[in-house]
Structure 1
Amino acid sequence: SGGGYAERVAAPADLLIRIPDGWDFERAAAVPEVFYTAFLNLFIEGELREGETVLIHGGASGVGTAGIQMAKRAGARVLVTAGRDDKVDVCLKLGADAGVNYKEQDFEKGVRDLAPDGVDVILDIAAADYLKRNMALLKTRGRLVMIALLTGVIAEIDLSTLMRGRQRLIGSVLRSRSLEEKVDVHDRFEEQFWPDLVSGEIQTVIYKTLPIEETAEAQAILERNENIGKVILGVRT
């Protein structure tokens, strides 16, 4: 519904980045949505700082693989959750300090074992079913940034926990922001992390590239939670 499957689009010039020499279009296509989303929500909304601990749910997703690398480059301690051991392994190779397979153990206990004092920032894609446990893991003045609603939209919380801990719950999407806001995200990302992408210090992670005629299969891969990183659609030329 947001135009992600369109073969041709018009975009403001202020939001464009020149494709670096040696990159193909598939590699370039793996950058904007996931890296901008991770950057916006970790560093602008979540205000992640050097020396803090961040928990990234869905660490092997497109946004997760981008977020791990940027958070590590920024000097944070990075913890992740993922649904398979091989996904956790990929996260560790990308720079995560530790990970929890949420299908083998409750993620709250697993993260608590890794960070007894809690975490400063959580990047969450699950929402409702994770809310109570996420809040329990936040340190005082911790920030929970919710960017998707995979487990539902209705949840009950203990507001006294929120108030005592001076915690912040932040709902965030990129698409609905004004052009001015998007340009700000674009410019700040380009300054802080784009050179690392060009140099190869940070990598795009592509699971599979399919022709746009196989969009249904690409969507099915995502629905099966099969992918590690991005699924790319190649448009007709």
Structure 2
Amino acid sequence: MSQSEKISAVEIETPGGPEALVTTQIDKPYAYPGQVLIKVKAAGINRPDILQRKGLYPAPEGASPLPGLEVSGIIEDIGRSTDQTPTSLQVGDEVVALTNGGGYAEYVSVPWGQVLPKPAGWSFAEAATIPETFFTVQQTLIDRAKPGETDWVLVHGGAGGIGATAIQLAKLAGAKVLTTGSTDQKLTYCKQMGADVAINYMTEDFVERTKTETGKGANIIVDFIGGDYVDRNLRAAAPDATIIQLANLGGREANVTMGLVVAKRLTLFGSTLRAQPDDVKANIANNLLQQVWPAIEKGTIKKPMLKTFSMDEAAKAHEAMDANDHIGKIVLEMGT
């Protein structure tokens, strides 16, 4: 097929609100050596997409400027070279993939190492919810913080995509999990995802509740709120705890009581995924395949609550993502 063949995609016309997303025609991507071309069946929507739409999270150099960091679909072509041939991927395979951008489209090219088999029993829409959150949580919570059976993990915003994934992977590692949410419906969902303790942060102080439940504080904290949560997390943490900062939805600036960091011997680290090298992402994918995919196939990992939209409804999908009552994951179905 000609590389100049046109396909439908969603682009950010001008940074701003959901109305900035418009359907357009672009050249069909090509599977260069080291890539596979995927016919997209569904694309997950994530917070980085929202930030990119607002002009706050530009695509890294060399990445697609189109939004969309995770997809499910069918491999249509494999870019081969003399020294690199993916032995486990074949044309026609049903897969999920972490993209470097461009997921809101009928086709996307993805590095081989970021592609994983679509789990049996998961629809394309359900499977499209996996890559971005699972890659993020695997790299930070599992590979780096390493929760174990004696640990308590505090997960903020457990009813969202990252939160629910963190709950499940922490439980898979044997840890006990506390989580926060703003409504009874969200707390019920968190418990369904496996949380041992669900805290309504609108009516309770999560710091005091965490101390009460654990006796000493949380050993690992997963946060994407930032702002005043940074210092509160220090107070909710146990001695020698690790705090993982994945975003700053509540504010990029924070007042921090450094005395707590020193006295408790705390570790605080942050992470972003999109700009990391392809080989790093391939290593995360391999860890997921070995450690998490068997649990997904067995049904130990639960499917998220799902809300779907067509590609032409991308703006409505982002409106739903912006809403405070959002639970679970939102997905664009391409209808191809």
The TM tier, using the shorter chain, reads over 0.9
1:218 aligns with 2:335: no
**Higher helix share goes to which structure?**
1
> Which SS does the other structure have where 2:110 is aligned?
coil
Q: Over residues 92-131 of structure 1, what are the superposed CA-to-partner deviations in whole Å (9 max), with x where a residue is unaligned?
A: 1221111101112222222222223101000001012201
Once structures 1 and 2 are overlaid, which stretch shifts more, 74-83 or 201-210? 201-210
Task: Select which of 118, 128, 143 maps to 2:242.
Answer: 143
Letter in 2 for 1:47: K
1:129 aligns with 2:228: yes
Letter in 2 for 1:176: A
Residue correspondences, number: 237
**Alpha-carbon distance, 1:82 to partner:** 0.6
**Alpha-carbon distance, 1:233 to partner:** 0.8
How far, CA to CA, are the matches of 2:212 and 2:132 in structure 1?
32
Question: What residue is the counterpart of 1:32 in the other structure?
Answer: 131
How far, CA to CA, are the matches of 1:19 and 1:151 in structure 2?
34
Once structures 1 and 2 are overlaid, which stretch shifts more, 41-50 or 95-104? 41-50
8 Å contact 1:87–1:228 — kept in the other structure?
A: yes
How far, CA to CA, are the matches of 1:128 and 1:210 in structure 2?
32
1:174 aligns with 2:273: yes
Question: What residue is the counterpart of 1:229 in the other structure?
Answer: 328
> Which SS does the other structure have where 1:221 is aligned?
helix
Letter in 2 for 1:45: R
> Which SS does the other structure have where 1:63 is aligned?
helix
8 Å contact 2:135–2:288 — kept in the other structure?
A: yes
Task: Select which of 183, 200, 211 maps to 1:101.
Answer: 200
8 Å contact 1:128–1:153 — kept in the other structure?
A: yes
Question: What residue is the counterpart of 2:162 in the other structure?
Answer: 63
Task: Select which of 254, 279, 303 maps to 1:204.
Answer: 303
Once structures 1 and 2 are overlaid, which stretch shifts more, 220-229 or 97-106? 220-229
TM-score normalised per structure 2: 0.68
When Rg is computed on C-alpha atoms for both structures, the one with the higher figure is 2
Q: Percent identity?
A: 32
Letter in 2 for 1:195: P
Task: Select which of 131, 143, 158 maps to 1:44.
Answer: 143
TM-score normalised per structure 1: 0.94
**Alpha-carbon distance, 1:200 to partner:** 1.2
**Higher strand share goes to which structure?**
2
**Alpha-carbon distance, 1:236 to partner:** 4.1
How far, CA to CA, are the matches of 1:133 and 1:94 in structure 2?
25
| Pairwise CA RMSD | 1.5
Letter in 2 for 1:49: G
Q: Over residues 43-77 of structure 1, what are the superposed CA-to-partner deviations in whole Å (9 max), with x where a residue is unaligned?
A: 12322222210000000101111111111121101
Structure having greater relative contact order (Cα 8 Å, sep ≥ 6)? 1
**Alpha-carbon distance, 1:225 to partner:** 2.4
Task: Select which of 176, 183, 186 maps to 2:282.
Answer: 183
**Alpha-carbon distance, 1:179 to partner:** 1.1
Once structures 1 and 2 are overlaid, which stretch shifts more, 31-40 or 117-126? 31-40
Q: Over residues 204-231 of structure 1, what are the superposed CA-to-partner deviations in whole Å (9 max), with x where a residue is unaligned?
A: 2033011121112211122112222111
> Which SS does the other structure have where 2:331 is aligned?
strand
Question: What residue is the counterpart of 1:83 in the other structure?
Answer: 182
Extract unaligned runs of 5+ from structure 1: none
How far, CA to CA, are the matches of 1:139 and 1:112 in structure 2?
8
Letter in 1 for 2:145: G
8 Å contact 1:82–1:88 — kept in the other structure?
A: yes
Extract unaligned runs of 5+ from structure 2: 1-51, 53-58, 60-66, 69-102
Task: Select which of 25, 37, 53 maps to 2:152.
Answer: 53
**Alpha-carbon distance, 1:22 to partner:** 4.0
8 Å contact 1:205–1:229 — kept in the other structure?
A: yes
